[in-house]
Amino acid sequence: MSSPDNSPTNSPPSRSGDENESESETAADERQFAGDTLSDDSTNGNGRSSDTELEELRDDDFPTYFAERDGRLYQADSAASPYPLPVDTPENQRVTFLHKCLLEVVGAHYIGPVHQVLASVEGQQRKVVDLGCGLGEWVTEMARQFPHVSFHGLDIVPIATRYPEVNAQFELHDIGEEWRWPASSIDMVHARSIFMTVRDFSVIINEAARVLKPGGLFLSGEWLYYPSFSSSFPESRTHPSEHVPFLHKLYTTFHTILIQRGIQSPIAPYIADRLQSSGHFHSINPMIFHVPIGTWSSAESAQRIGRGNRAALKRFLDSIKPMLLQDSGMLPEEIEDMYAGCLAEMYNMQGLVSVYYLVSALKV
């Protein structure tokens, strides 16, 4: 079985006499120091594991988190998580493209009152949890911006950097299961592109509501996964199946398969309402971003974003192909025809955009 190209999350405990090992020991020392100074939940007395009870992964543990099918790597525990996409290098590159596109489009790694919520207060350790953190890019960049805050990235597979910032830590956890922090102990929960990790998004909303302090911030970001047009194009006023029938069919098929697998899909347009109706949040602020696909815009920055987003969409097509082959009921040659049509639309249709929903909400 091939192993993921990205470095694993945690380095094993080092033995003496090896240069690399002594480097990892230094990193471990720094993490330990961060643990001493940044962590205030070393004993929580509630049966949940604390920072100091976490175990480092051994080298030979890594392969057990992955399963290989048809040349792609998936998370191994398909009974635990319904997550249908691969977790290997091509898929991680897709996620990285989107991470970069979003930074340019949104202008920051967040919306909402992040600076107020994470303001430094004497005697208090601010804490942020990132759900389904992947490679840990959001955590890493936020940890640099907010060096007084302790960041915790959770993922079901060990793909995050093995060299985290001193105020960041990556942990293996199925986010569909209870998180390890006690009630009212976290300042901010960030959840980006994670709707396929659980069948019922309420699990995420309820756990976020439990661990957040009153006034704590929940920040959700999800893609719509449906073809749309920039509002300055006449195509935006008619049904997308008229202009991009192949992409329309692709996305419709994708959502149908997710629904068959018990995953609520699409969820992005409904998250703000779900937060409202949970009764746990106030000051709910939804924002919608249109991210160009391709180079149709006259603005140079939008062209750059459009190239990155198109590259991400091509990888998305690759990542979902095994799902379509297995569950769409389409013949392989029908899928190939649909893919050829999707590519032609992605390269030729002016005004084509992906739609991204960001929602910030404060815990009651």
Task: Using CB under 6 A, list all residues that contact ligand SAM.
Answer: 75, 81, 83, 87, 95, 99, 132-134, 137-138, 154-157, 174-176, 192-194, 197
Strand 150-155 with 127-131, pairing:
parallel
Which residue, 150 or 197, has its beta carbon nearer to ligand SAM? 197
Which residue, 42 or 78, has its beta carbon nearer to ligand SAM? 78
Q: Which of 207, 358, 359, 188 is nearest to 278 (CA)?
A: 207
24 half-sphere exposure, CB direction, 13 A CA radius: 17
Q: State which H helix or E strand residue 342 sits in.
A: helix 332-348
Prior bond of 182 cis (ω within 30°): no
Supply the minimum distance, in Å, between the C-beta of residue 317 and ligand SAM: 15
- Amino acid letter, residue 347: Y
**How is 67-115 classified by DSSP, letter by letter?**
EEETTEEEES-TTT----S--SHHHHHHHHHHHHHHHHHHSSS--SSHH
Supply the minimum distance, in Å, between the C-beta of residue 154 and ligand SAM: 6
Which residue, 138 or 218, has its beta carbon nearer to ligand SAM? 138
Which residue, 83 or 251, has its beta carbon nearer to ligand SAM? 83
Q: What is the DSSP letter of 146?
A: -
Yes or no: say if 102 and 221 are a contact pair by the CB < 8 Å rule: yes
Yes or no: say if 218 and 191 are a contact pair by the CB < 8 Å rule: yes
Q: How far apart are CA 64 and CA 172, in angstroms?
A: 12
Yes or no: say if 194 and 175 are a contact pair by the CB < 8 Å rule: yes
Prior bond of 90 cis (ω within 30°): no
Q: How distant, in Å, are the alpha carbons of 3, 73, 172 from that of 157?
A: 12, 11, 6
Which residue, 157 or 271, has its beta carbon nearer to ligand SAM? 157
Supply the minimum distance, in Å, between the C-beta of residue 177 and ligand SAM: 8
Which residue, 21 or 141, has its beta carbon nearer to ligand SAM? 141
Supply the minimum distance, in Å, between the C-beta of residue 284 and ligand SAM: 21
Which residue, 198 or 346, has its beta carbon nearer to ligand SAM? 198
Q: Within its chain, how far is the Cα of 141 from the centroid?
A: 14
Supply the minimum distance, in Å, between the C-beta of residue 102 and ligand SAM: 8
Supply the minimum distance, in Å, between the C-beta of residue 155 and ligand SAM: 4
Supply the minimum distance, in Å, between the C-beta of residue 78 and ligand SAM: 10
Yes or no: say if 3 and 63 are a contact pair by the CB < 8 Å rule: yes
Which residue, 194 or 355, has its beta carbon nearer to ligand SAM? 194
Q: Within its chain, how far is the Cα of 96 from the centroid?
A: 10
Supply the minimum distance, in Å, between the C-beta of residue 95 and ligand SAM: 5
